[in-house]
Structure 1
Amino acid sequence: MQIRLWNHNLKVRLIGEALFNMLFWMYFPFITVYFGAALGNHIAGMLMAIPPIFSLLGSLLGGALADRLGRRPVMLLGASLQTVMFALFAVSSSHWIDYAAFIGIGLGGAFYRPASTAMVADLVPTQHRREVFATFVTANNVGSVLGPALGAVFFFHYRQELLWTCAAVLLLYTIALFTTVHETFPRMTMAKNPADSTTIANVWKEQWKGYGIIFRDHVFLIYTLAGIFALVPIMQLDLYLSVYVIHHVPAQPLFPWHGDSPLLSSTEIYGWLLGFNGLLFVLFILPVTKWLQHWRDRNVFILSSLLSGVGTFALGLNTHFWFLFIVTIIFTFGEMVRSPVTQSFIARYAPEHARGQYMGADSLQGTIGKFLAPLTVTLSNWVPPMGIFSIILVFALISVGLYVWLFRIYVEESAEE
């Protein structure tokens, strides 16, 4: 589906989200370093475990409100909250206020995302959803490639200017949402008896009742478990892979067959692998999504788990720079094929009246995955590298088994209906 054929809502959001995402990656990778320098690494480590909890609660609440109030108001709420929090971060003279602002920024993003994803599902026909979601992922990954390189300069030397720029861009984007984006919420799914839900207590009760129904949906539960196990290998790029490369991969020439080749340190090798991963996403996610557009979701999920698991495991087989580059291609493609299919699967599976709630509940995969994935770093104090890579492979294989089980049940239930 060509961009020129997209709904106006999607075009506005693609530009706004791509621009903000680049600014996001100019500060986010350095936040832990910032708080570590100010408060100590031990305290910073504990503090960084708290924002994902707020993000999870924000996603659940944002998804529920998106089904109750509409997509547009929730997106405006999330973008406005982020704008205010960036401004607070910029004027703050206290590290604790900085931390509160950082949590507020994450909370605003958590409100925004389920409503944003639900709006795509509202507007895009089923057969084009993978491609549209892949386009958004591509735009976001352009920022993840350029942002850290720029942020290494701007965050530490021009932090206030960077934060004010983030606030200004979000303010302009909020205005654009307010003036040009129209509501896509299907009106027939409005609360049947709004008068019974006017108090805050009734709103919360109704929303959590809705999530209770979702979490009793055994197909969705298996899907969530499979996603958690699948994400543990995928998340290792920023976790154990950094530890492994820096501590176990020796410095070596970039072109060993050339006598005057520059020598890369272990840290530089990791940086190259990280940048290569982002570049692959930008260049290939759309072509790969088109290539796999006729594949069943089941096969794409299984392929993703196998590629990410086997690719990550293979990292431990050799420390040669170019071997690591080849293996990076394998596990990156595992992550790449998964992203658009995950969003399109939920968009199709979720009932229209609860699409926002399902999008919000889908964030459980990432939140729980972020808690489990760092265990590999902790275990590396006692377990050798091949042991860690074997554990990662086991997680991937478990996810494959869960996806096979999931689609057996899903097909059977679909057939019965």
Structure 2
Amino acid sequence: MSAPTADPGVRAALRALPGPARLLLAGVALNRMGSYVQVFVVLYVTSLGHTAAQAGLVLTGYGAGSVLGTLLGGILAERVGNRLAIAGSVLVTGVLTAVLPAAPGYLALLLTVTATGVAAQVYRPAASALLAELLPPERLVVASAVFRLALNVGAALGPLAGAALLTGSYTLMFEVNAAVSVAFGVVALVALPCGSPAPAARGARERARYADVLRDRRFALVVLALFLIALVESQYLSALPLDLRARSVPTAVYTALVALNGLLVIVGELPLTRYVQHWPMRVSIAGGIALIGTGIGLYGVGGGVAFLVAATVVWTLGEMIAAPSTLAYPALTAPEGARSRYIAALSAGQSVGYAAGPALGALLFQGLGGAVWPVFGAVGLLAAAAARSGVHQPEALRTAVPAATKT
């Protein structure tokens, strides 16, 4: 039996990524940069003379399409393979973005933006599944942290790129976005490995059933946990600014708290994951979720700016601990042939929570005021309990992780 290998650390692990994995992660960042369509769509719709309510409905259509696209992506990845699902997603997104300025009326605009939301998210399950196929299980948590870094960097740079292009026109902004998407789609089609569709022996109807995923009761608890903690975490976008305004805290403080969260995640998550990757997944996922709930709940304790910063650091630390393991978990635990569906189900549950959370937080804050924070803190701890009950250590890591940690 060969001697166990030493943990090479994050930098060495990144250098060891195969070329297709690096290409995939670069494409993830580019695709996420294209999210500025979502950022600017409200301004675009109102610039056409439509009302704010109509613009909000278009944005809701994009969000609903994103959830549907994630679920559809899980099915397509199993039926046609990961490469075709990824390439098709970005190519169709590019085409829809290109025709967006030509939409002849409000209904056509609404349908086009909704379809863009669908197409833009189809790639996500396939990308996560392909990453799992390209890497050994013991490296997948670190790779998932890199995946998130690519998403976060793309999300940070995208609006800046969109704003720069907007100095020309909305049409220019959309067309450049479309050109980048189409270009990456062609590269993905040529350069990415095909990946593994579900076994041909299984019928198409069986492969496409998400009910089978939810019948896995332990995994369904993890989906529930991610939905609940998404409701809680999204309050930094909803209840927090409302509460700070009610407490006469300057808007600059809120902006700084949001920036602090983003900065900590971009700078600190990947180095932290070097250690977290060796923890049992139940500890990293459930423990991280508990910290998110605790940090959000601490916003209700009161105190000055320093205390607000401390609460933000606590829940951001929880996010950095839980998120890479959560992203890797379905790929490591799914039955053969169902990996993409498991990935999609977990992502969709989380997306629904993020979509519903801000509206729920605003509604509860209107009725409860500052008492909303212990409510969401309790929901966060409930999510942690669900994760603790549902998460189990993947079989692939039970032997791989001890070998990786020895020096």
Alignment TM-score > 0.5, same fold: yes
- Cα gap change, 1:47/1:165 in structure 2, threshold over 3 Å: closer, same or farther? closer
**Is 1:81 matched up with 2:92?**
yes
The 5 A counterparts of 1:3-402 are 3-24=14-35, 26-35=36-45, 38-92=49-103, 94-152=105-163, 154-155=165-166, 158-185=169-196, 189-192=198-201, 203=204, 205-208=205-208, 210-251=209-250, 266=251, 268-318=252-302, 320-373=304-357, 374-385=359-370, 387-402=371-386
Between the aligned partners of 1:279 and 1:316, the Cα distance in structure 2 is: 23
Tell me the secondary structure at the aligned position of residue 312 of structure 1: helix
Q: What amino acid is aligned across from residue 226 of structure 2 in structure 1?
A: G
Alpha-carbon offset, residue 110 of structure 1 = 2.2
SS at match of 1:49: helix
Instruction: Output the CA distance in 2 between the equivalents of 1:349 and 1:191.
Output: 21
Q: Which moved more, 1:217-226 or 1:38-47?
A: 38-47
Question: Gapped runs of 5+ residues in structure 1?
Answer: 198-202, 252-265
CA distance in 1 between partners of 2:41 and 2:238 (Å): 16
Q: Supply the distance in 2 between the matched residues of 1:185 and 1:238 (Cα, whole angstroms).
A: 38
Long gaps (5+) in structure 2:
1-11, 399-407
The number of residues matched between the two structures is: 383
* TM-fit CA distance, 1:185: 1.1
In 2: Cα distance, 1:182 partner to 1:410 partner:
25
What is the rounded CA distance, in whole Å, between the counterparts of 2:243 and 2:162 in structure 1? 25
Considering only aligned residues, what root-mean-square deviation do their CA atoms show, in Å?
A: 2.5
Instruction: Tell me, in whole angstroms, the C-alpha distance in 1 between the residues paired with 2:99 and 2:336.
Output: 37
- How far has the Cα of 1:122 moved from its partner? 1.1
User: Could you tell me how far 1:346 is from its partner in structure 2?
Assistant: 0.6
Q: 1:183 to 1:79 in 2, by over 3 A?
A: same
Q: TM-score, normalised to structure 1's length?
A: 0.84
Alignment partners' CA distance in 1, 2:46 and 2:311: 32
Q: Structure 1 334/61 Cα, relative in aligned 2: closer, same or farther at 3 Å?
A: same
Distance in 1 separating the partners of 2:282 and 2:206 = 33
Instruction: Show CA shifts across 1:188-231 (max 9, x none).
Output: x52117xxx6xxxxx4x3344x3222221111211111211122
The question of whether the paired residues in 1 share the 8 Å contact of 2:288 and 2:322 is answered with: yes
User: Using the alignment, how far apart are the partners of 1:28 and 1:118 within structure 2?
Assistant: 25
SS in 2 for 1:361: helix
Q: Partners in 2 of 1:249 and 1:335 — Cα distance?
A: 28
Task: Give the Cα separation in 1 of the matches to 2:44 and 2:243.
Answer: 24
What SS does structure 2 have at the residue aligned with 1:80?
Answer: helix
